[in-house]
Amino acid sequence: MSPRRSVVEYGLPPAEETHEIVKVPDKPMALVSQMSDSHLVKLALDPRTERVTGVKAFALGPKDAMLHGLAVSERHPGRIWATHEGGNRLLLVDPRADGLDAAPRVEREIGIPGGGRGPHYVNEYGDTLWVTLKGSDQVLALDHTRPERFRLFEAKPHPIFAARHPDSGDFYVSQDSASTVLRIDPRSGRTSQTPIPAERGSTPVGLIGGAGGVWVVLLGTDQAGTGTFGRIDEDGRTTWHRLRAPQGRSASLLHLALGRGREPVLWLLASSIVSDDARDLIIRVRFDSSWTRIVEEEYVALPTQMCKAHRLLPLANSVLVTELTTATVAQLTAARHIRPDDGV
């Protein structure tokens, strides 16, 4: 039997749009971007329970800079990369994770080169930053040690997430308005497009690499979602899965994350972002050991519906979720203590 779970919501400083969330490695702190006023919010976490114990927001650039993407840097330990979607910059930020009241410091700024516009998502792969440019419908690969070395790849409207395939090394990019997935061979620079089959759904948004492939979820339309997500294999073929429970078969899936433990677990986030008829749900999907068959589905509704649930972040013992329009972070926990190897 699945453990009984509960959801607690924590209010953040008021903002029209609350977006991305990351965990600071080895520190009891998470960071949230509020795009509407370019604030970075620090969440202090209890080291044992992971409960949110403090919240404080800091301006990170002018209000119209549109702080959005967040990514943990491995090349610069303790730092994060961030995007100014309106200001057309990449930032290397010291979040000052040793204290809630210490203001984050921008240590470095990199302008978007080559006429690209609107950096949305960023992630670091070695010395290369991969950035989706929502304003110019391009994908940027930039050497952050030598920013004059970069490549721009043309995309369709609008590139949202980018991820490297763990086996092939190719990069895949979700394009929500075109309902296609872009494939980039970083060695040759060749690109190709794979449309989402209409019978599966539409609007790929959340996309991550891991567990033998690149995983992508489908949001659907303002009429309905299809509760569909897929895994892209080394050769670019997609195996599609559809949620089976009644509340899952019409879910509008916006984001996803892999479980942190040994169990084959995928976390999905259903959102009301395109339809007031859609439900805001956290969904735990457990697979068999080969990641090919769904064994169990578990659903938890967010207490505040029509919040346009946006991103989720699994921690060791809980899951954090940002709510786009309510300036809120929700936290899902279990009634019993969950060990990290339980798949949460």
The pTM (predicted TM-score) of the whole model is 0.95
* pLDDT for the residue 224: 87
**pLDDT at residue number 3:** 59
pLDDT score at 57: 98
Q: Which of 45, 48, 89, 47 is nearest to 67 (CA)?
A: 89
What DSSP line would sit under 28-90, residue for residue?
A: SEEEEEETTTTEEEEEEE-TTT--EEEEEEEE-S-GGG-EEEEEE-SSSTT-EEEEETTTTEE
Helix/strand/coil for 119: strand
Closest by alpha carbon to 153, among 193, 207, 123?
Answer: 193
Transcribe 198-250 into DSSP letters: TTT---EEEEEEETTEEEEEE---SS----EEEEE-TTS-EEEEE--SHHHHT
How confident is the prediction along the chain (344 residues), in pLDDT tens digits per residue?
355 789 999 999 999 999 999 999 999 999 999 999 999 999 999 999 999 999 999 999 999 999 999 999 999 999 999 999 999 999 999 999 999 999 999 999 999 999 999 999 999 999 999 999 999 999 999 999 999 999 999 999 999 999 999 999 999 999 999 999 999 999 999 999 999 999 999 999 999 999 999 999 999 998 889 999 999 999 999 999 999 999 999 999 999 999 988 899 999 999 999 999 999 999 999 999 999 999 999 999 999 999 999 999 999 999 999 999 999 999 999 744 333 334 44
User: What's the pLDDT at 2?
Assistant: 53
Q: So what's the pLDDT on residue 208?
A: 98
Closest CA to 263 of 230, 243, 291: 291
Q: Could you give the C-alpha distances from 168 to 72, 184, 187, 197, in angstroms and in order?
A: 23, 11, 11, 23
